[in-house]
Structure 1
Amino acid sequence: MSGNQNMKLPIIISATIHVGVIVALALNIDFSSKPEMLAAPNTQPEALKAVAIEQNKVDDYVKQVKQERADTARKERERQAELDRKAEDARKAREQEQQRIQKLAEERKQQEVEAQKAAAATEAARIKQQQEQEKAAKAEAARKQKEQERQAAEDAAKKAEAKRQAEEAAAKKAEAERKAREEAERKARAEAERKRQAEEARRRQEQEMQDALAAEQSQLSAARSQQLMSEVNKYKAMITSTIQRNLVVDDSMRGKSCKVQVRLASDGFVTNVSILGGDPQVCRATQNAINKAGRLPVSPEPDVYQQMKEINLEVRPEFN
């Protein structure tokens, strides 16, 4: 019995060591370091007790290892499931990306087609615009040509009108000059006629004055008072005759007269002429005739001079 018991103890120790190695392997225990030598039991009951305690620990370790392995397997399954899910998501993502790339390629092709169409349309529009521009340029050139022709026609018409107006102006000027010459000739003829008539009137007046002087000479024997008045009248007549000789008349003076007052010096020099009334034209002609004469006939006799030094006259132009 003692021999069997002695044999069981090493067997139990060996089995415990093998279980411990297995558990260590399961727990990834490092056996590189040398284990310490187990002390030989001093007594057999303590060894059995120790083996029982180790067996419980081994059982606990085995359970723990199993649990850990189960957890590791579960985690591995979960990890694998996650990897599968991610792989599926990646596959779906790849498929979606491929679909997107294909769609982009199709859209790019469509865009290229549309771009080609747009380019063709642009080229067609450019050609059409170029044709329209050429057409517009031709139309503009035609319009400018017509405008130049119209302007040339207007210029020609203006030149013709200016020439016509110049000819009309020249004709009017020639007509005016002709009328002016005719008027000048008429006035010259009228002036010549007036001078002729004035000369005839002067001669008649001189004849009349001579006749009057002769008549006055025949009346020298009359009374002094009558002689004085006759002298005054005589010199009045002589003054009137002198004025008439120097009077420039025309037909517009017929039937018109002018009253003047003449102041004379003792030698007959006219010191003043005052217009008393009458036709303005006749009055101007009368004043001019008196100023032209400068001196008028006056009697050397003082008493006669006193009667006529300030004399009023009525001048009526005479016409033959």
Structure 2
Amino acid sequence: MQPKHVLPLVLLIPLFLVACTTSQTGNWKSDKSATSKAGDLPGDLQAGPNADIAGYAQAIKDAIENRIYDPGMYAGTVCTVRIRIQRDGTLNNATTEGGDPALCQATLAAIKSAKIPPAPDERTWQLFKNATLDFKP
């Protein structure tokens, strides 16, 4: 990995960690806290070219979470998943890298049935084409 790509990836790690958790109310589908917490990161991920990155992260999160059946069953568990996608959003591969076996199985099934949208631009796709996601319902 080239050094110029390290900073954007470092900025995305907290976004993924926040984006893959539930709100205090436990409602996955209408939780807007993930995008509001992006302002806590260095710089403003909601402005300029970074808005595409934050928006795409949210779109991936929504596409996958909408396919997880009864996320409340997995409260207190974690699953780390690596996804590899094409520029048009087509899933090449999804593998677990650790975590609760039941949540990981549900997450993989959700990813495989999710309709991941195409990346808005080449730069955004480069950041997400081989991404690690932590799911924490």
Output the TM-score relative to the length of structure 2.
Answer: 0.63
Task: Report the counterpart of residue 249 of structure 1 in structure 2.
Answer: 70
When Rg is computed on C-alpha atoms for both structures, the one with the higher figure is 1
Q: Is the 8 A contact 2:89 2:117 kept in 1?
A: yes
Which of 1 and 2 has higher RCO (CA within 8 Å, sep 6+)?
A: 2
Q: Structure 1: how far apart are the matches of 2:72 and 2:129? A: 32
Q: Percent identity?
A: 26
Aligned Cα root-mean-square deviation (Å): 2.7
Dislocated runs of 4+, deviation >3 Å? none
1:263 is aligned, of 68, 84, 87, to: 84
Which structure dedicates a bigger proportion of its chain to helix? 1
Q: Structure 2: how far apart are the matches of 1:252 and 1:302? A: 37
Residues 95-114 of structure 1 aligned to structure 2 (within 5 Å): none
Structure 1's unaligned 5+ residue stretches are: 1-196
Q: Structure 2: how far apart are the matches of 1:287 and 1:259? A: 10
The one-letter code matched in structure 1 to 2:28 is A
Q: Structure 2: how far apart are the matches of 1:250 and 1:269? A: 24
Q: Structure 2: how far apart are the matches of 1:201 and 1:296? A: 17
Q: Structure 1: how far apart are the matches of 2:135 and 2:117? A: 16
Relative to structure 1, the CA distance from residue 310 to residue 253 in structure 2 (aligned partners, 3 Å threshold; closer, same or farther) is same
How far is the alpha carbon of 1:236 from its aligned partner? 1.9
Q: How many equivalent pairs are there?
A: 104
How far is the alpha carbon of 1:273 from its aligned partner? 0.2
Residues 109-148 of structure 1 aligned to structure 2 (within 5 Å): none
Residues 1-320 of structure 1 aligned to structure 2 (within 5 Å): 201-202=28-29, 204-205=30-31, 208=32, 219-220=46-47, 222=48, 227-228=49-50, 230-249=51-70, 251-293=72-114, 295-317=115-137
The one-letter code matched in structure 2 to 1:316 is K
Measured against aligned partners, the alpha-carbon deviations of 1:263-290 in whole angstroms (never above 9, x if no partner) come to 1111101110011110000000100111
Answer with 300-309 or 280-289: which moved more.
300-309
Which structure dedicates a bigger proportion of its chain to strand? 2
How far is the alpha carbon of 1:235 from its aligned partner? 1.6
